[in-house]
Amino acid sequence: MNPNPDPADTLEIDAAAALERQHGGALLLDVREDDERAGGYASGSFGLPRGEIERRIADLAPSRDREILAICASGARSLLAAKTLRGLGYANARSVRGGHARWRQLGLPMEHGALDADATERYARHLVLPEVGVAGQQKLARARVVLVGAGGLGAPIALYLAAAGVGTLTLVDDDVVERSNLQRQVIHADARIGEPKVDSARTALNALNPGVHVETVRERLRAANVEAIVRGHDLVVDGADNFPTRYLLSAASVRLGLPLVYGAVHRFSGQVSVFDPRRADSPCYRCLFPQPPSAADAPNCSEAGVLGVMPGIVGLLQANEVLKLVLGVGEPLVGRLLCHDALAGTFRELRLPRDPYCPGCGTAATFSGYEDVARICAA
């Protein structure tokens, strides 16, 4: 071991100076993981993850006299890489101070990876997450999500899914924006009162992320159109406020094998779950509500009222479940009902097993048409 190690500052070099040294023949070594590099990299750099340096560096730099400049996201990993390289005999190894963050800040030459420049910058905080990365962001870009309801729940769901880069969002709603909506339906604006909600929402989403394709269906979900609207998507999000729509969505979810992300709010409380017919252990919506409650037992928001933030809290939980399902990460709320009490400030999780006698997905369940499903609620 060298009793007089180099001070830390001799191990680092500024990004602008590193570019000059690169032009002079130095090897610029990107020590990030491959999925990070796919989001964009310094021009002319070679990718070699830090964990593979000992095994592969001799192939890239046979001469230990060659100057090697290690670069990472912020400068931490590259400093460790430079120390590793010096330990291997590369006396001229250094770390680029500030990493790619500094390189970009100075406007130094970059190459685009699997994502374009806009996506690389827009989703930068996603790309550094190992659970997302470039591959995950591409999954989000390919996803097709249908959101039924552009009101209280639909507002935060749509905003955050668009912000996250979900490629196609189909909004379904037949209502128009009213002033009383604005207390909780934050996707709309006072200037758009009287507009169809789907058009108002599309305006907001296009302003937030022009790269997301927003399709609109200005219709009420009915027995005659539910399957045609839902078909062709990867999953369904329930942003509705009535039982007929939810029963129709549940039936379509089961028949088409599409996950259904459920949410509901009432006064100061809300609940979220995921019904995924692709999983043998998953319940469906009718395992929770085999028959619809009476109107007296389940008044809507206009009758019972709702705290303005409640749809935001529940809608964001639903958006989170959508992202988990698309990315294939975490544990979705399948077989679990997450309940939130805003007044108490508590969350409670209830087990929700699949009901073998469920009229929607049980072993003896029969489907006689969407019209019959609609009649259940009408009765």
- CATH topology agreement for domains 8-115 and 143-378: no
Contact 113, 135 (CB under 8 A): no
Report pLDDT digits (tens) over 81-124: 999 999 999 999 999 999 999 999 999 998 877 788 788 889 98
d(CA 205, CA 74): 32
Q: 8-115 belongs to which homologous superfamily? A: Rhodanese-like domain (3.40.250.10)
Report pLDDT digits (tens) over 169-207: 999 999 999 999 999 999 999 999 999 999 999 999 999
| The domain defined by 143-378 carries CATH number 3.40.50.11290 | no
Max distance between CA atoms of the chain, in angstroms, equals 86
pTM for this model (two decimals): 0.76
Q: pLDDT at position 164, please?
A: 98
Q: pLDDT at position 300, please?
A: 62
Residue 301 known to be catalytic: yes
Nearest to 326 by CA among 163, 141, 200: 141
Q: pLDDT at position 1, please?
A: 39
Residue 346 burial (CB count, 10 A)? 9
Extents of the domains making up the chain: 8-115, 143-378
Question: For the chain, where are the E strands, in sequence order?
Answer: 12-13, 27-30, 41-42, 46-47, 68-71, 93-96, 110-111, 144-148, 168-172, 213-217, 235-238, 260-266, 269-275, 336-341, 346-351
Query: What's at 59, amino acid-wise?
Result: D
Contact 187, 204 (CB under 8 A): yes
Q: pLDDT at position 36, please?
A: 79
Low-confidence ranges of the chain (pLDDT < 50): 1-8
- 3-class secondary-structure state, position 128: coil
Active-site residue (options: 72, 284, 287, 301): 301
